[in-house]
Amino acid sequence: MRQRATTAALSAIALTLMIATSALAGGWAKAIMDTPPDDPSSPGQPISIGFTLLQHGVTPVDWGTAQVVLTNDATGRSVTFDAQPQGAVGHWVAEISVPAGGTWRYQVRHDLEIEMTGFNPITVGPAAAQAAGTTASTSIDVQPALLLAVGFLSLLVLVGITAGIVVFRRGRLDRVRVQ
Sign (positive or negative) of CA dihedral 157, 159, 160, 161: positive
- Rounded Cα–Cα distance for residues 85 and 53 (Å): 10
Q: Based on the domain organization, do 56 and 124 belong to the same domain?
A: yes
Strands 102-109 and 122-124: antiparallel
Domain that holds residue 16: 2-25+147-178
Q: Based on the domain organization, do 88 and 127 belong to the same domain?
A: yes
Residue 32: CATH number of its domain: 2.60.40.10
Q: Based on the domain organization, do 91 and 151 belong to the same domain?
A: no
Q: Based on the domain organization, do 124 and 45 belong to the same domain?
A: yes
**pLDDT, tens only, 34-89:** 987 788 888 999 999 999 999 998 999 999 999 999 999 999 999 999 999 999 99
Please state the domain count of the chain. Answer: 2
What phi and psi, each to the nearest 5 degrees, are found at residue 88? Answer: -60, 155
Q: Based on the domain organization, do 61 and 113 belong to the same domain?
A: yes
31 has which bridge partners? 53, 116
Sign (positive or negative) of CA dihedral 92, 47, 38, 79: negative
**pLDDT, tens only, 161-175:** 877 776 667 766 566
**pLDDT, tens only, 16-28:** 655 544 444 558 9
151 has a pLDDT exceeding 60: yes
Q: Based on the domain organization, do 170 and 133 belong to the same domain?
A: no
> DSSP letter at 115?
E
7 has a pLDDT exceeding 60: yes
Q: Based on the domain organization, do 12 and 47 belong to the same domain?
A: no
Q: Based on the domain organization, do 107 and 174 belong to the same domain?
A: no
Output the pTM of the full model.
0.58
Strands 78-85 and 122-124: unpaired
